[in-house]
Amino acid sequence: MINLVRNEMLKLLRKKRLYVIILIIAFLVPLFTYAQFKEIQEQREKMGNQDWRTVLQQEITDTQNRLSSSRIQDEWRKYLKIRLSQQQYYLENDIDPRAPGAPTFMRIFVENSIDLLLPLLVMVIVADLVSSEASGGTIKLLLTRPVKRWRILLSKYIAMLMSVSFIVLSVAVLSYVISGLVFGYGGWNMPLLTGFAVSGDELLTDRVHIVPQWQYILMEFGLVWYVSVIVGTLTFMLSVLLRSTAAVMGIMLASLIAGAILVNMVSSWESAKYFFMVNLNLTNYVSGMATPIEGMSLGFSMAVLAVWGLAGFIIAFVTFSKRDIY
Amino acid sequence: MSNTPALEVENLTKKIKRKLIIKGVSFTLYPGEVFGFLGPNGAGKTTTIRMIVGLISPTSGTIKIGGKNVRTEFTEAMRHLGCIVENPELYPYLTGWENLEHFAKMDPSIPKDRLDEVVTQVGLQNRIHDRVSTYSLGMRQRLGIAQALLGKPKVLILDEPTNGLDPAGIREMREFIRTLAREENLSVLVSSHLLSEIQLMCDRVAIISKGAVIRTDSVENLLAEQERVIWKAEPLSLAKEILEKETEVQEGLDQTLITLYDEPQLPIWNEKLVTAGVKVKEMRTQLPSLEDLFLEVTGGESID
Ligand SMILES: Nc1ncnc2c1ncn2[C@@H]1O[C@H](COP(=O)(O)OP(=O)(O)OP(=O)(O)O)[C@@H](O)[C@H]1O
Ligand SMILES: [Mg+2]
């Protein structure tokens, strides 16, 4: 099996797709770094000449005032307390929460690329993994070896997992290294709030707690990897089913973009939540954004994705082992 | 010729979209023989070959390679097989050597030095480290054969191996295939729609038309049956008149007449011509090309 996987990795490297992916990331990261840099500058200008410590101190006083009011709900009080300790930590440790370091940029970048950019990059790598063998005719030589078909497909699947992991890793490394040139490399321990949940119109804050940024980032990259693997598996299935790489890319692209559009307009179409493409934004659950459709949660989205991924995996292996190759 | 078959195909059928495309094909290959699979375009040669190499599953029938059933003992059967189906399509972005390495890695029983052996055998030493995308068709064909020989197969299956080669290339390929059969005791199945080619290269031949084998025999047997006599005589019209009373006569090229080869009758016909004052200048026997033969057995039907 190791030999089969090595073969697949060799072909992947020789097709130079991975280099293209790295180039794309290396081009986009400076672009976003600059955008982020501009935004921070603008915020600074709005604050005038005020020192950020003064602003933060004002915010703290503000929170304290609200806490001392007696008409406030218990749950809300708890949330405010957590927020207060976060703000105080910033002040005590001399961290400007509005001037991000490289880890913060990394986090924002990955949160924004999880539902479209990363799936697209994954798709570019995976789309022709099987279909190119079919359209190039090499599948005839590949499948007339003393190796069972499912083993050949499994070696390709493992190669897919390895390249997806590689893409996620390069996003992490490149966004950290490049943005650090501008923002500095510190900030791993900055405290962040997580644990928000949404129920109806309400933001539930009873499980909110503080985690250090490195832990937060680790969590988010875990989710990003999960989403990428599912998108990779679905693309892989299409690549088995279709001979034409262009068709694979077309279908995948259409679904991903449809997902990005649907998320903004399906709040009243409840069953749309079972589509894989409206469930891609897993990091939103960590940072506590509103869900596109009621009743969605991190667990729900991960389960929906798991079902899609598993179905894709099974369809790919069953058809590939049985199919007639013309 | 040993009598344990290298490849046995029995009663093979294939239905595609409810249309019967292969209608009960059977044949057997013995070690050391070159077997021709002859038929016009669309006869079902490639479809049969795809079933033999396990790319498509037969609707019914059995295939055994080296005694192993392709369906139930796939990996064992494939150990004994090397093939090129239709064009030799290799990875164009890899070098010839990398292509061979790629396929060698898929079979752990292939030793490292086997690569050098096959490269030398097909004579690709000079270009083996270039990318396949820079290869000519002939070189790709050689690399395809090298790839098929990697696992020291008992059976080699080549679908139209001379397709697209120039006359020198065709000749070389033909000799190469004969050498393999003779020196390595390989059974080679060669499909072709070029009748002259099969005639020169094969020991036995199966003629396939519209998905069925209509005849399997040794090449000599098939040809001997159809032997003809060419007559050169003067005056031609008189000779024709006389011969027509005895047998079927066709007019050939260069003022000749063609009749069947009927040994006991020949002297009698000749005598009749001579007594009638016809000068018989030449009388010779000729083997027909398989072309004539093919038209004969298929009744001259057109390609479907
Ligand atoms: N996938 C398919 N679907 C439907 N019909 C098919 C399919 N593949 C082959 N056929 C039909 O099966 C018949 C035999 O085709 P095949 O390719 O085996 O012929 P062949 O003998 O190899 O011809 P050629 O000399 O042109 O290569 C043809 O009539 C073809 O139309
Ligand atoms: Mg063919």
Å between A133 CA and nearest CA of chain B:
9
Q: Which positions in chain A touch B50 (Cβ < 8 Å)?
A: 324-326
Query: Do the Cβ atoms of A148 and B75 come within 8 Å?
Result: yes
Point out the least confidently predicted range of A84-88, A109-113, A204-208: A204-208
Residue of B15, B46, B52, B194 to mutate, ligand 1, most atoms within 8 A of C-beta: B46
Between strands B155-159 and B81-84, the pairing is parallel
Q: Is the pLDDT of residue B97 over 90?
A: yes
Tokens 């006389």 -> residue: B242
Task: Please state at what angle helix B137-149 crosses helix B96-105, rounded to 10 degrees.
Answer: 20
Å between A13 CA and nearest CA of chain B:
10
Query: Tell me, what DSSP letter sits at residue A278?
Result: G
Q: Supply the DSSP string of B115-143, one letter for each residue.
A: HHHHHHHHT-TTTTTSBGGG--HHHHHHH
Nearest-by-Cβ selection for B74 from A3, A136, A148: A148
Tokens 């190119």 -> residue: A132
Q: Is the pLDDT of residue A325 over 70?
A: yes
Closest approach atom of ligand 1 to CA B50: 18
Residues A222 and A217: their CA atoms lie apart, in Å, by 8
Residue of B45, B158, B192, B193 to mutate, ligand 1, most atoms within 8 A of C-beta: B45
What residues flank ligand 1, with Cβ below 6 Å? A 326; B 16-17, 21, 39, 41-47, 193
A253-276 in b/e burial notation, b at 16+ Cβ within 10 A?
eebbeebbebbeebeeeeebbebb
Query: Do the Cβ atoms of B90 and A6 come within 8 Å?
Result: no
The domain B7-218: what is its CATH number? 3.40.50.300
End-to-end distance of chain A based on CA atoms, in angstroms? 26
Q: CA of B256: how far to CAs of A7, A78, A80, B229, in Å? A: 64, 114, 113, 10
Q: How confident is the model at residue B252 (pLDDT cuts 50, 70, 90)?
A: confident
Query: Do the Cβ atoms of B81 and A144 come within 8 Å?
Result: yes
Point out the least confidently predicted range of A44-53, A121-130, A131-140: A44-53
Q: CA of A116: how far to CAs of A22, A110, A230, A277, B164, in Å? A: 16, 11, 13, 10, 47
pLDDT of residue B244: 84
Q: Is the pLDDT of residue B227 over 80?
A: no
Stretch A107-118: mean pLDDT, rounded? Answer: 87
Q: Is the pLDDT of residue B246 over 70?
A: yes
Q: Which positions in chain A touch B104 (Cβ < 8 Å)?
A: none
Nearest to B286 by CA among B267, B249, B263, B258: B258
Q: Is the pLDDT of residue B186 over 80?
A: yes
Which of B59, B70, B89 would you mutate first to test chain A, the one with the most A CBs within 10 A?
B89
Residues B232 and B245: their CA atoms lie apart, in Å, by 18
pLDDT of residue B304: 40
Query: Tell me, what DSSP letter sits at residue A210?
Result: E
Q: Is the pLDDT of residue A156 over 50?
A: yes
Residue type, A267: S
How many A from CA of B210 to the centre of ligand 1? 10
Q: What is the pLDDT of residues B287-301, one digit of tens each?
A: 766 566 667 666 655
Task: Please state at what angle helix B137-149 crosses helix B167-184, rounded to 10 degrees.
Answer: 10
Q: What is the pLDDT of residues B125-174, one digit of tens each?
A: 889 999 999 999 889 999 999 999 998 999 999 998 888 888 888 888 89
Q: Which positions in chain B touch A156 (Cβ < 8 Å)?
A: none
Residue type, B38: L
Closest approach atom of ligand 1 to CA B21: 12
Query: Do the Cβ atoms of B108 and A7 come within 8 Å?
Result: no
Residues B118 and B142: their CA atoms lie apart, in Å, by 10
pLDDT of residue A196: 67
Q: Is the pLDDT of residue B111 over 70?
A: yes
Residues B227 and B222: their CA atoms lie apart, in Å, by 9
Nearest CA in chain B to A320: B55
Protein residue closest via CA to atom 2 of ligand 1: B16
Protein residue closest via CA to atom 5 of ligand 1: B16
Protein residue closest via CA to atom 24 of ligand 1: B41
Protein residue closest via CA to atom 27 of ligand 1: B41
pLDDT of residue A121: 92
Residues B161 and A316: their CA atoms lie apart, in Å, by 33
Residues in contact with A3: Cβ distance below 8 Å, sequence separation at least 6, in sequence order: B105, B106, B108
Q: CA of B181: how far to CAs of A103, A113, B73, B147, B155, in Å? A: 68, 60, 25, 17, 10
Q: What is the pLDDT of residues A274-291, one digit of tens each?
A: 888 888 888 877 776 667
Q: What is the pLDDT of residues A220-255, one digit of tens each?
A: 899 999 999 999 999 999 999 998 999 999 999 999
Q: Is the pLDDT of residue A201 over 70?
A: no
Protein residue closest via CA to atom 25 of ligand 1: B41
Q: Supply the DSSP string of A244-270, one letter for each residue.
A: -HHHHHHHHHHHHHHHHHHTTT-TT-G
Point out the least confidently predicted range of A36-40, A91-95, A157-161, B126-130: A91-95
Nearest CA in chain A to B76: A146
Nearest to A26 by CA among A171, A180, A181: A171
Do residues A209 and A82 make contact, with C-beta atoms less than 8 angstroms apart?
yes
Q: What percent of chain A has pLDDT over 70?
A: 93
Long-range contacts: A265-271, Cβ < 8 Å, 24+? A266/A292, A266/A293, A267/A292, A267/A293, A267/A294, A269/A293, A270/A294, A270/A295
Q: Is the pLDDT of residue A267 over 80?
A: no
Protein residue closest via CA to atom 26 of ligand 1: B41
Task: Please state at what angle helix B114-122 crosses helix B96-105, rounded to 10 degrees.
Answer: 130
Task: Please state at what angle helix B266-275 crosses helix B236-246, rounded to 10 degrees.
Answer: 140
Q: A with B: how many residue pairs have Cβ under 8 Å apart?
A: 78
Residue B188 neighbours by CB distance under 10 Å: 26
Point out the least confidently predicted range of A259-273, B32-46, B69-83: A259-273
Residue type, B284: R
SS3 B304: coil
pLDDT of residue A229: 95
ipTM of the complex: 0.81
For CA atoms B291, B296, B301, B304, the dihedral sign is negative
pLDDT of residue A159: 94
Q: Where are the alpha helices (DSSP H) in chain B?
A: 45-52, 74-79, 96-105, 114-122, 137-149, 167-184, 195-201, 219-225, 236-246, 266-275, 290-298
Domain boundaries, chain B: 7-218, 228-286
A→B interface, C-beta within 8 Å = 3-4, 6-7, 10-11, 14-15, 136-138, 140-148, 322, 324-326
Q: Any idea which architecture B228-286 has in CATH?
A: 2-Layer Sandwich (3.30)
Residue type, A309: G
Query: Do the Cβ atoms of A141 and B75 come within 8 Å?
Result: no
Point out the least confidently predicted range of A307-316, B47-56, B76-85, B223-232: B223-232
Pull the structure tokens for residue A297. 């949660």
How many A from CA of B277 to the centre of ligand 2? 54
Query: Do the Cβ atoms of A141 and B90 come within 8 Å?
Result: yes
Residues B48 and A32: their CA atoms lie apart, in Å, by 58
Strand order in the sheet with B7-16: B19-29, B7-16, B60-65, B68-69
Q: Is the pLDDT of residue B303 over 70?
A: no
Query: Do the Cβ atoms of B50 and A6 come within 8 Å?
Result: no
Å between A245 CA and nearest CA of chain B:
16
Residue A40: its H or E element: helix A17-46
